[in-house]
């Protein structure tokens, strides 16, 4: 059967949403359960698709693509009734007698545009939040992860009617066709430049938007850090999925006194994780395509590779690499790396280091390794970021009870858990007044002296 056009899908979803079928909480929970069952029954296929696209081991793919999504769905099913319950607020005396509350209502039909680096998770986790909030949805998986895109589309088509949830595959032309339609909400995960295009498209219809972007996430390692733990946790966060993670540490800023030892420990951690030849390791992934490989290979020319540095274009392999002798002006420090290359710079004065980072765009993630609570707090207070984690990497993402999102050039809006439900819901303020009292003093002709009115309004509000 030939897939429907974006125009036809949009029209059908608007008509279906107007029936009110998606508004009932039992319906939403049932659909989340259907989604969960569809994922669980395709676990092996999902892991194989991700391996085909990114060379990722099954253990890593399960944790970051399947397990976390199932947990997201379970969290929504368990708490959905409470999340959706109207929230009472205090009513001022000027409205007496009355009651006031905030109720969450779905936007309508939402468009979710997913990236290629975590091609299953970043398509389905937002979808779960959108369905929990009572919306219809169109999912656009990334064509760069072709195997996972096909699986996502087939899973959605087998599980849901297109008038409720639809998937649209294709490249830039398909995305542009979708963006030309009038959706009620746009959710985009990807690079900053494409994010600007998405936001411009949303502006044409004044459509609200969430942008989950990226940036150069700093990782500060202070002189008192536990270097063994820091090296393992940084290497794990950086080289998972061959560095193709929006919240991976983009560069390390290490105190001058411990930089050399940290480099040695990072190199040792890489060896323990992936062996003497990471290219032969079943636990190290590959770059998604040749275009990204060529971009990353050019960045290997910066600084000095104290570990790694090897590459093989036919296999889209770039070794986990540590770069020393890198300056702030180096090419590798001008853009988000999004690959297995980790520059290590040094600082001597924390205040000066913070000022240097303050002059750069706000990152999606901020990492700090230190045992000094005062210095931890100073870094958190003075360096804005989408999220932050102290003495680990990825912690702010793995806790689904925390909102996850960017700020400034790293994005806007947040999701995960209740934050995802709130993102895909409009908070509608409601007042219900009684009709038994209706003082005439508020109606024209106005006769109350202004001085008296000021005092009364101050009291009543």
User: In this predicted model, what pLDDT tens digit does every residue of 102-123 receive, in sequence order?
Assistant: 999 999 999 999 999 999 999 9
pLDDT at position 3 over 90: no
Query: 43 an active-site residue?
Result: no
* Region at 442 (left for phi over 0; alpha for psi -120 to 50; beta for the rest): alpha
pLDDT at position 220 over 70: yes
Residues whose CB is less than 8 angstroms from the CB of residue 105 and which lie 6 or more positions away in sequence, other chains included: 23, 134, 425, 426, 428
pLDDT at position 1 over 70: no
The stretch 134-159 carries a mean pLDDT of: 98
User: Which pLDDT belongs to residue 428?
Assistant: 97
Condensed to tens digits (0 to 9), the pLDDT of residues 242-299 reads: 999 999 999 999 999 999 999 999 999 999 999 999 999 999 999 999 999 999 999 9
Condensed to tens digits (0 to 9), the pLDDT of residues 69-100 reads: 999 999 999 999 999 999 999 999 888 899 99
Mean pLDDT score across all residues of the chain: 96
pLDDT at position 461 over 80: no
Angle between helices 172-180 and 6-18 (to 10 degrees): 40
Residue 2: pLDDT band by 50, 70, 90 thresholds? low
The percentage of the chain sitting over the pLDDT mark of 70, rounded to a whole number, equals 99
pLDDT at position 50 over 70: yes
pLDDT at position 300 over 70: yes
> How far is CA 228 from each of CA 68, 221, 344, rounded to the nearest angstrom?
27, 12, 16
Catalytic residue among 65, 181, 212, 409: 212
Catalytic residue among 136, 219, 246, 389: 246
Condensed to tens digits (0 to 9), the pLDDT of residues 318-357 reads: 999 999 999 999 999 999 999 999 999 999 999 999 999 9
Per the CB < 8 A criterion, the answer to whether 305 and 314 are in contact is no
Query: 246 an active-site residue?
Result: yes
User: Which pLDDT belongs to residue 306?
Assistant: 96
Per the CB < 8 A criterion, the answer to whether 218 and 367 are in contact is yes
Distance CA 148, CA 118 (A): 9
pTM of the model: 0.95
């Amino acid at each position: 059967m030939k897939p429907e056009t974006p125009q036809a899908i949009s029209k059908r979803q608007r008509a279906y949403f107007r029936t009110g079928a998606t508004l009932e909480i039992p319906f939403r929970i049932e659909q989340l359960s259907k989604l969960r069952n569809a994922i669980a029954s395709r676990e092996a296929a999902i892991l194989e698709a991700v391996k085909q696209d990114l060379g990722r081991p099954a253990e890593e793919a399960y944790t970051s693509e399947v397990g976390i999504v199932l947990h997201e769905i379970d969290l929504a099913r368990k708490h959905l009734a409470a999340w959706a319950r109207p929230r009472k607020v205090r009513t001022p005396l000027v409205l007496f007698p009355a009651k006031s509350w905030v109720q969450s209502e779905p936007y309508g039909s939402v468009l979710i545009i997913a990236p290629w680096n975590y091609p299953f998770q970043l398509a389905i986790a937002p979808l779960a939040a959108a369905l929990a909030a009572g919306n219809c949805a169109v999912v656009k998986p990334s064509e760069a992860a072709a195997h996972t895109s096909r699986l996502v589309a087939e899973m959605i088509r087998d599980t849901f009617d297109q008038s409720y949830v639809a998937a649209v595959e294709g490249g830039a032309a398909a995305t542009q066709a979708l963006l030309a339609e009038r959706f009620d909400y746009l959710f985009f995960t990807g690079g900053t430049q494409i994010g600007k295009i998405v936001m411009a498209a949303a502006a044409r219809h004044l459509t609200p938007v969430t942008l989950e972007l990226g940036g150069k996430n700093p990782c500060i390692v202070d002189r008192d850090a536990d270097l063994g733990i820091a090296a393992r946790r940084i290497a794990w966060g950086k080289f998972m999925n061959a560095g193709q993670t929006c919240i991976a540490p983009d560069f390390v800023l290490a105190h001058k006194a411990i930089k050399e030892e940290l480099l040695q420990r990072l190199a040792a951690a890489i060896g323990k994780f992936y062996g003497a030849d990471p290219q032969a390791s079943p636990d190290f992934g590959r770059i998604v395509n040749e275009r990204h490989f060529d971009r990353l290979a050019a960045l290997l020319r910066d600084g000095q590779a104290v570990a790694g540095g090897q590459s093989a274009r036919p296999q889209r392999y770039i070794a986990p690499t540590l770069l020393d002798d890198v300056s702030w002006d180096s090419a590798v420090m001008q853009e988000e790396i999004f690959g297995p290359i980790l520059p290590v710079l040094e600082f001597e004065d924390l205040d000066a280091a913070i000022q240097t980072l303050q002059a750069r765009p706000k990152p999606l993630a901020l990492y700090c390794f230190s045992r000094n609570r005062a210095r931890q707090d100073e870094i958190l207070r003075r360096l804005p970021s989408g999220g932050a984690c102290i003495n680990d990497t990825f912690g702010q993402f793995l806790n689904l009870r925390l909102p996850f999102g960017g700020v400034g050039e790293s994005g806007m809006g947040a999701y995960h858990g209740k934050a995802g439900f709130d993102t895909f819901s409009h908070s509608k303020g409601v007042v219900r007044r009684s009709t038994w009292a209706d003082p005439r003093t508020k109606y024209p002709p106005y006769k109350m002296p202004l001085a008296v009115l000021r005092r009364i309004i101050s009291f009543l509000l």
